[in-house]
A = this chain, B = another copy of it.
Amino acid sequence: MGYDVAAIRAQFPTLERKIYGNKPLIFLDSAASAQKPRAVTAAMTDFMDTTYSNVHRGIHALSQEATDAFEAVRGKVAGFMNADEREVVFTKNTTEGINLVAQSWGRKNLSPGDEILVTELEHHANIVPWQLIAEATGAKVRAVAVLDDGALDMDDFHAKLGPSTKMVAVAYVSNVLGTVLPVEDIIKAAHAQGALVLLDASQAVTHRRVDVKALDVDFLVWTGHKLYGPTGIGVLFGKYDLLDAMPPFLGGGDMIDTVSFQGTTFREPPYRFEAGTPAIVETIGLGAAIDWVETVGIEAIAAHEADLLDYAMDQLAAANDVTVFGTTPTKVSVLAFLLGDHHAHDVGTILDRTGVALRVGQHCAEPLHTRLGVHSTVRASFAAYNSRADVDGLLDGLSVCRELLG
């Protein structure tokens, strides 16, 4: 049975939206955040309507049911990336996950002379937290170069990786170029030097199967809202022994063992890192999103997106005035480009008026744009619910841009 994109689209009410009067919405901005299937919104509403209660705190029936449902999602998330349950820390998004590791692991383990290796293609979320902790500890952030085609410069990586490197924090998949980084090689090389590796898998979990055990990665972070799930919920995976050796991040309820003014002690992971009332309903929604993805099949989604990417790349190549950024063979369906020498904003404005929703600017990756020598780019991204007709819509929109921008 083939991939039934019409049946999938029918599960996303937003895709029925008309904009600017009667223009059907062509949503190509899923790399920023994905639309939500009915299964997710329904799971959240049902939970709020029937089972809602705070978790971990009550002995009454509702609290028990809510806690069971909440913790069951931890198991589901663990299964989704082949981790153990107690290695799954719920966060509010990728950004918090990286900050958590930077602050908690970093404050304990970084000193002057130590180095944190990132890359030129990182999202700001995987740069700024390291800059902040580097400033606090005297460690140094170094960035591995990116080649013209959007691949990581592995020579530069090996040149910069050394005994001073304590942490290698890299994107699994670039949110601008779509490049899939050779993370297996990166992890092996880093471990050989005694460095830990954190993978920013925000754009990876949505496009491929991620297996933390096979990768032997130390930390891996992602965010629910890009995986067709709710906002306000993210995931940090950490190897248990690493988590167990880390001091708390935020202090408050639920993460403590005992509190007194003489001294407070903390619980074991993952709870030590989950202070306060968690995003309970959003966790339930994340569970529904994983179920949804697994039902369609992440591999099926990936294959469908790869087809759309090929189709789009071919069409854009045929147009001589389009420059695509990120042309490695290992590339997911995130497509940054420029039309002629037109500013991305002007292109984006016109496309928007034709019904095509995509993102223009620097996509929270300013250093990458500096590296590419462009000020901003137009980014189209394809998700499970996009179709070839959406790609055609983009190309039609580009024709309008040519007409109006001259």
Alpha-carbon separation in the docked complex, A100 to B29 (Å):
31
Q: Which of B96, B251, B264, B352 contacts A276 (CB 8 A)?
A: B96
A contact face: mostly helix, strand, loop, or mixed: mixed
Alpha-carbon separation in the docked complex, A96 to B48 (Å):
23
Q: Name which of A51-59, A295-303, A317-325 contacts chain B.
A: A51-59
Contact residues in B for A357 (Cβ distance below 8 Å): 53, 58, 60-63
Contact residues in B for A367 (Cβ distance below 8 Å): 259-261
Residue A94 CB within 8 A of the other chain: yes
Residue A22 CB within 8 A of the other chain: no
Contact residues in B for A270 (Cβ distance below 8 Å): none
Contact residues in B for A370 (Cβ distance below 8 Å): 260
Residue A170 CB within 8 A of the other chain: no
Residue with the greatest number of chain B CB neighbours at <10 A, chosen from A52, A129, A367 = A52
- CB <8 Å contact, A48 and B99: no
Q: A278-B231, A358-B60 are in contact. Are A364 and B253 (CB under 8 A)?
A: yes
Residue A215 CB within 8 A of the other chain: no
* Closest Cβ–Cβ distance, residue A106 to chain B (whole Å): 12
B-contact 0/1 string along A41-71, CB 8 Å cutoff: 1001100111111100111111100000000
Residue with the greatest number of chain B CB neighbours at <10 A, chosen from A94, A125, A142, A277 = A277
How many residues from A make CB contacts under 8 Å with B?
Answer: 91
- CB <8 Å contact, A58 and B359: yes
Q: Which of B19, B99, B279 contacts A92 (CB 8 A)?
A: B279
- CB <8 Å contact, B360 and A276: no
Residue A268 CB within 8 A of the other chain: no
Residue of B nearest to A352 (CB): B60
- CB <8 Å contact, B50 and A128: no
Q: Which of B63, B98, B128, B252 contacts A29 (CB 8 A)?
A: B63
Alpha-carbon separation in the docked complex, A367 to B253 (Å):
13
Residue of B nearest to A17 (CB): B50
Contact residues in B for A25 (Cβ distance below 8 Å): 62
Contact residues in B for A95 (Cβ distance below 8 Å): 250-253, 275-277
Residue A74 CB within 8 A of the other chain: no
* Closest Cβ–Cβ distance, residue A355 to chain B (whole Å): 9
* Closest Cβ–Cβ distance, residue A67 to chain B (whole Å): 12
B-contact 0/1 string along A247-283, CB 8 Å cutoff: 0101111111011110010000000000111111110
* Closest Cβ–Cβ distance, residue A404 to chain B (whole Å): 16
Residue A78 CB within 8 A of the other chain: no
Residue A386 CB within 8 A of the other chain: no
Residue A345 CB within 8 A of the other chain: yes
The 7 closest A-B pairs by CB, nearest first: A95-B276, A128-B251, A232-B279, A232-B232, A95-B252, A60-B357, A125-B252
